[in-house]
């Protein structure tokens, strides 16, 4: 049984980055089993549950995660999750652990991997659209892979949220963060990260200059959309999973409305990581990573935590014998 505090100690961002990178590569190589995410929609309660099973690296597991946007009214996180790992040889449960922190870290790590492979190497200016919990791990991961960050511009519809984020992340990462007043200003950046629950475009085509990389993180369910569809038409669009993104990612609304086609999707991040497809090919390319969150990301991070926890327990048991 592993709680959040233990997982925070056992799962640093730099290790999560490499684990998630491996999970994308293994997926592209056909070495994982990952059924489609199952949704249990409960509109009468203003939320939903998602069951996310996967097999990777010799471990089977499932994440049971809830998304309740109004939970701030109850002083609870909007996303809460539990992960169960099992031995595929016997079906025996190996570990029960908090999945809320893992969900946030692995999503941030996926964004970091995307930046590493798709953003310009000389990127120095980051624009954060949305300043909630997910914006924190996105920036933590980007700070691991971008060699020089000169400025981080932050915009949220609620200015006090932006101010709190800037104060906290300045203290945590020692970067130059500042609050900006408009979408236009925050998107004047080399890397733009969107982490909102919006159901209508916030970032417009006119806001995005050539060479920009966008991590589109917020759209994780049907009807959600943060980017104007015309941006997708002029960009190299990379998804984590084509099927999942098509019904719940940034591309889901433009696809449903016929504004883009599946052919407009360049490929998956796993294909880029594995070397099957090239990432950025020009400093003028606009690249987009459409992240919906994959079960393999959860399970590979949970597996890492489980193995480190077992080693720690064995070491502590040995010391007790001395």
Contact yes or no for 110/20 (Cβ under 8 A)? yes
Greatest alpha-carbon span in the chain: 69
Of the CA atoms within 13 Å of residue 228, those in its CB half-sphere come to 11
Selected catalytic residue, list 25, 27, 37, 63: 63
SS3 156: coil
What is the rounded distance in angstroms from the CA atom of residue 305 to the CA atom of residue 153?
33
Non-local (6+) Cβ contacts of 63 within 8 A are 50, 51, 52, 81, 82, 83, 99, 102, 103, 295, 298, 299, 302
Sign of CA dihedral 207, 294, 172, 196: positive
For this structure, is 222 an active site residue? no
Distances in Å between the Cα of 156 and the Cα atoms of 137, 160, 178, 179, 277 are 16, 8, 12, 9, 35
Contact yes or no for 14/145 (Cβ under 8 A)? no
What is the rounded distance in angstroms from the CA atom of residue 208 to the CA atom of residue 231?
8
Closest CA to 288 of 181, 168, 206, 203: 203
Distances in Å between the Cα of 71 and the Cα atoms of 66, 68, 133 are 11, 6, 13
Catalytic positions, written as ranges: 63
């Amino acid at each position: 049984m592993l709680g959040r505090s233990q997982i925070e100690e056992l799962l640093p961002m730099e290790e999560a980055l490499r684990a998630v990178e491996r999970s994308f590569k293994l997926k592209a190589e056909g070495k994982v089993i990952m059924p489609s995410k199952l949704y249990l929609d409960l509109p009468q309660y203003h939320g939903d549950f998602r069951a996310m099973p996967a097999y990777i690296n010799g471990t089977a597991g499932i994440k049971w995660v809830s998304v309740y946007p109004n939970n701030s009214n109850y002083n609870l996180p909007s996303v809460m999750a539990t992960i169960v790992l099992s031995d595929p040889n016997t079906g025996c449960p190996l570990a029960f652990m908090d999945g809320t922190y893992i969900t946030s870290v692995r999503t941030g790590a996926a964004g970091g991997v995307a930046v590493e492979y798709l953003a310009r190497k000389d990127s120095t200016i980051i624009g954060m659209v949305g300043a909630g919990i997910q914006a924190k791990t996105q920036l933590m991961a980007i700070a691991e892979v971008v060699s020089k960050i000169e400025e981080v511009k932050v915009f949220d519809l609620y200015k006090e949220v932006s101010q709190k984020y800037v104060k906290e992340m300045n203290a945590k990462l020692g970067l130059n963060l500042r609050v900006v007043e408009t979408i236009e200003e925050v998107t004047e950046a080399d890397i733009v990260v969107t982490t909102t629950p919006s159901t209508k475009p916030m970032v417009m085509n006119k806001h995005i200059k050539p060479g920009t990389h966008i991590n589109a993180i917020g759209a994780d369910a049907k009807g959600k959309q943060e980017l104007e569809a015309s941006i997708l038409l002029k960009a190299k669009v990379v998804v984590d999973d084509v099927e999942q993104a098509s019904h719940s990612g940034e591309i889901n609304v433009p696809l449903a409305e016929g504004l883009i086609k599946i052919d407009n999707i360049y490929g998956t991040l796993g294909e880029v990581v594995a070397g099957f497809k090239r990432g950025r090919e020009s400093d003028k390319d606009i690249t987009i990573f459409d992240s919906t969150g994959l079960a393999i990301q959860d399970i590979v991070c949970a597996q890492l935590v489980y193995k480190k926890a077992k080693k720690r327990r064995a070491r502590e048991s040995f010391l007790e014998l001395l």
